[in-house]
Homo-oligomer: A and B are copies of this chain.
């Protein structure tokens, strides 16, 4: 099997699967990403493992479900001992570097327990979820009365902006993520009424082109050794604001129609209904909010696509297109008012299904170039894929990695997955308080197969079921449909089996377990033998014909 030498793992943030022209958007042309799709495989049913940045990414990087690694919400630290794609790839001789966002929060307590210093090589890798850092840029420098959301957020980018003449204590906010009234007053991008205005920054200085250049700089510096580069953009994530000319490209005539039904708004489901009532759901249910935001959101994506053009052209020129696997995906989607919701944090496809395009330059992948796959895939499949590209064998790692390599799917060698799983832990949100759920209850689990999607809740809350074939827009909740009881029972049982999986048996390979089954006890433990003749002679040899002086009186 020939494999690419390098991996360029591009992740956008909050990019809906259906906001790219190769996925069918009629008005948002993304020719550069489309071109990659034409060279690779476009996965039409790619699911994230949690609809929120932090847990989704921790699953992607570890190749494990949230229920397995435990970092179940933003800023819940990924515990020491969890290994990530960086750890696995380095062992295989491939560097694994970060350029951009991870949303990783280090497990300071666990590191202290083990005496790991954050500034040691090992400590730094543990702190950065296994990546070596070329540039960490979580792309966010919010500031409130209690200080910055992220002490390290966007510091380098702010330095860059200052070097380009953007002054002030936080040009990330005042220029990259705000408009200006033309007389020197900042119109903050945090307020969506400003989303249709241009960000007060030259386009080439905004964060997406900046990060593209940083990615290119990283690759330029690489020698002959194979590398994996996680080029991880913050956009099209909020604040929803984009510099000219992208701010003015898209109006309501270009928007996808809002997907929502009156019946949804009348749901009695406490979690779905509760999310609608949250400020974000309320805001995005208003047309004037959508009208302001969607143009910016589409502009941000258009800018991302243009930057992909810059990047892919450069890769072509430098020959990297021939030896580098390229993945384009996202950590989750964005409701944008669909289903009366904003943001993510629930389980409609709008939120949990993402674009995923994988380009493999190997000859074995030629047959499927430009095709779409409706195979169910998960973001935790990327780590196993990369392990195989780096020359590793999943048989040595399938006790740790819970995904499956995508290489067979890229090369037409079948391999299907029956189910995809997603989870959301809302135990630290106001909704959990309103519903008076304890911290174990305020969690939901989703499973989908080739037709249905079941969402189950803790705390005695009833399930939600969608029939994706009859109702692809997921407008009809069959959670109480008597005729679908058997479907719910079946998928609930799938979730139960999944929940019992041995996800923590990570210190022994499955191969070793299997081999042990056939091994005799050759190290002297003899069980069930009444006499010497009840055990194989070679096994008891050490216990035969032994001499020892009898003790007195025995």
CB closest residue in chain B, given A121:
B115
Residues A132-189 near B (CB distance < 8 A): 140, 142-149, 166-168, 171, 173-175, 178-186, 188
A336 CB, nearest partner CB in chain B, Å: 12
Cβ B550 vs Cβ A500 within 8 A: no
Does A481 belong to the interface (CB within 8 Å)?
Answer: no
User: Known contacts A145-B542, A283-B534; is A76 also within 8 Å of B505 by CB?
Assistant: yes
CB closest residue in chain B, given A150:
B523
Does A200 belong to the interface (CB within 8 Å)?
Answer: yes
Does A432 belong to the interface (CB within 8 Å)?
Answer: yes
Cβ B110 vs Cβ A525 within 8 A: no
Chain B residues whose CB sits within 8 angstroms of the CB of A532 once the complex forms: 191
Does A48 belong to the interface (CB within 8 Å)?
Answer: no
Residues A12-44 near B (CB distance < 8 A): none
**A180 to B549, alpha carbons, bound, how many Å?**
8
State how many copies of this chain the complex holds: 2
Cβ A507 vs Cβ B439 within 8 A: no
Cβ B526 vs Cβ A190 within 8 A: yes
Residues A476-514 near B (CB distance < 8 A): 495-497, 499-508, 510, 512-514
Chain B residues whose CB sits within 8 angstroms of the CB of A554 once the complex forms: 179-180, 182, 198, 200, 244
Chain B residues whose CB sits within 8 angstroms of the CB of A200 once the complex forms: 548, 550-551, 554
**A528 to B284, alpha carbons, bound, how many Å?**
7
User: Known contacts A244-B553, A504-B67; is A142 also within 8 Å of B525 by CB?
Assistant: yes
Question: Could you say which of B81, B122, B175 contacts A548, with CB atoms under 8 Å apart?
Answer: B175
Chain B residues whose CB sits within 8 angstroms of the CB of A534 once the complex forms: 191, 279, 283
Cβ B526 vs Cβ A109 within 8 A: no
Does A521 belong to the interface (CB within 8 Å)?
Answer: yes
How would residues 315 to 339 of chain A score, 1 for a CB under 8 Å from any chain B CB and 0 otherwise? 0000000000000000000000000
**Residue among A198, A278, A279 with the highest chain B CB neighbour number at 10 A:** A279
Question: Could you say which of B69, B87, B174, B286 contacts A504, with CB atoms under 8 Å apart?
Answer: B69
Chain A contact residues, CB within 8 Å of chain B: 67-72, 76-83, 87, 107, 109-110, 113-116, 120, 122, 126, 140, 142-149, 166-168, 171, 173-175, 178-186, 188, 190-193, 198, 200-202, 238, 244, 278-284, 286, 288-289, 292, 342-343, 425, 427-430, 432-433, 439-440, 443, 445, 458, 495-497, 499-508, 510, 512-514, 516-518, 521-532, 534, 538-551, 553-554
Given A145-B541, A185-B546, A439-B514, list of 8 further CB < 8 A pairs?
A80-B114, A81-B82, A144-B524, A182-B554, A191-B543, A244-B553, A443-B502, A445-B500
